[in-house]
């Protein structure tokens, strides 16, 4: 009788533990890429050339580490094709690393739009765009861990990595 009760007790604990827990994380969350609706050859009348090859643009966080109560996280987008302007989306996706996978953080930029990064007449320097993430403004509670911002340039996704302590 004691043996049966022990077995039933173990089965009940296992059932309870699996019912209360969440499913194991087995893959990265998908990222929804916003629709690009601009004329990609347009330079808005600026004395600059619109980029056609988006493979030479990088995304970098302003700092490697931020505090949990940070006001703004800036992501710098740099086109290493000197003098060429490029399109970027002002609302990145935000993800946190959990058990080796990237999970979406509930974050919604309030006024997303496509922008063209270029300086009038620039032929000698890389053009840079800046995307700002404001956790306070967007009511995002950051916790300690590794994060990445998924930033959209035309039809590409770039990642900028940073830590929160």
- pTM (2 decimals)? 0.81
List, for residues 43-102, the tens digit of each pLDDT value: 888 888 899 999 999 999 999 999 999 999 999 999 999 999 999 999 999 999 999 999
Supply φ then ψ for residue 91, to 5 degrees.
Answer: -115, 100
Residue spans of alpha helices (H) in the chain: 2-20
Longest dimension (CA), the chain: 88
- Terminal CA-CA length for the chain: 53
Q: In CATH, what class is 51-165?
A: mainly beta
- Nearest residue to 38 via CA among 92, 85, 75: 85
Q: Both tokens of residue 61?
A: 């966080």
Averaged pLDDT of the chain: 84
The answer to whether 151 touches 60, Cβ cutoff 8 Å, is: no
Lowest mean pLDDT, pick from 38-42, 51-55, 119-123: 38-42
What does the alpha-carbon distance between residue 92 and residue 101 come to, in Å, rounded to a whole number?
18
Task: Tell me how far apart the alpha carbons of residues 165 and 87 are, in angstroms, rounded to a whole number.
Answer: 32
Percentage above 90 pLDDT, the chain: 60
The 3-class secondary structure across 59-85, one letter per residue, is EEECCCEECCCCCCEEEEEEECCCCEE
């Amino acid at each position: 009788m004691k043996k049966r009760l022990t077995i039933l007790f173990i089965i009940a604990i296992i059932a309870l533990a699996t019912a209360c827990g969440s499913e194991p994380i087995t893959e990265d969350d998908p990222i929804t890429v916003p629709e690009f609706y601009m004329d990609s050859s347009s330079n808005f009348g600026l004395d600059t050339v619109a980029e056609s090859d988006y493979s030479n643009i990088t995304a970098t966080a302003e700092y490697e580490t931020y505090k949990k109560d940070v006001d703004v996280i800036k992501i710098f987008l740099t086109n290493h094709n000197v003098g060429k302007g490029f399109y970027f989306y002002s609302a990145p996706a935000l993800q946190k690393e959990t058990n080796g996978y990237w999970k979406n953080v509930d974050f919604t930029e309030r006024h997303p739009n496509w922008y063209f990064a270029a300086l009038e007449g620039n032929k000698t320097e890389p053009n840079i765009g800046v995307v700002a993430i404001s956790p306070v403004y967007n009511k995002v509670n950051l916790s300690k861990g590794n994060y990445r911002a998924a930033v959209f340039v035309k039809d590409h996704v770039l990642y900028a990595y940073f830590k929160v302590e």
